[in-house]
């Protein structure tokens, strides 16, 4: 909504707005570009026009959408999923992501899966067996080991805490 409002304020027309991406009909002048960049910055958003930065954001968006906003994580390998969604060779995506972010795609996915586990534990609608199955862990033991590796806590201990802390998705 913020992006739509800023585009309208600047008299710019768009064809498509989706998570992390806008397709503008006009070719922007340098002045329009700078005004849009400043307006988005004031709203806590960033204008990216570097192709590699945009691809990194697309990788992050696909992972966040896959882990947090789908009812069932796809049963395919994450590498195949990213390759199909973004139409790039996975090795290229993995190398670019690691160079830019200082973390592998696998670790990024694992961190997001653990945040999803925390969320599901807090909701208290599923037991650990169901959570492990939902997120395609091979076993509760595998889920517990990854959870402890990332958080330093066991899932059971986390569940017993009165003040359960989750990280904002932008900080994962």
Domains annotated on the chain, with CATH:
2-47 (no CATH), 52-171 (1.10.10.60)
pLDDT tens-digit readout, 21-54: 787 888 888 888 888 888 888 888 877 667 888 8
Residue whose entry in the numeric block shows the structure tokens 């707005």: 17
| Helices and strands of the chain, counted as H and E runs | 9, 2
For the stretch 117-158, pLDDT in tens is: 999 999 989 999 999 999 989 999 999 999 999 999 999 999
DSSP type of residue 169: G
């Amino acid at each position: 909504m913020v992006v739509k409002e800023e585009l309208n304020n600047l008299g710019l027309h768009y064809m498509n707005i989706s998570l992390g991406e806008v397709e503008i009909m006009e070719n922007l002048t340098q002045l329009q570009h700078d005004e849009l960049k400043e307006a988005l910055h004031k709203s806590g958003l960033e204008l990216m026009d570097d192709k590699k930065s945009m691809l990194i954001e697309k990788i992050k968006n696909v992972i966040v959408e896959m882990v947090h906003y789908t009812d069932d994580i796809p049963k395919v390998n994450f590498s195949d999923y990213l390759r199909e969604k973004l139409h790039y060779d996975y090795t290229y995506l993995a190398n670019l992501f690691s160079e830019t972010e200082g973390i592998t795609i696998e670790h990024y996915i694992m961190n997001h899966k653990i945040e999803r586990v925390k969320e599901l534990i807090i909701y208290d609608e599923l037991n650990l067996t169901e959570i492990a199955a939902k997120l395609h862990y091979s076993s509760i033991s595998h889920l517990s080991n990854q959870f402890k590796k990332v958080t330093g806590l066991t899932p059971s201990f986390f569940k017993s805490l009165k003040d359960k802390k989750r990280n904002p998705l932008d900080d994962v």
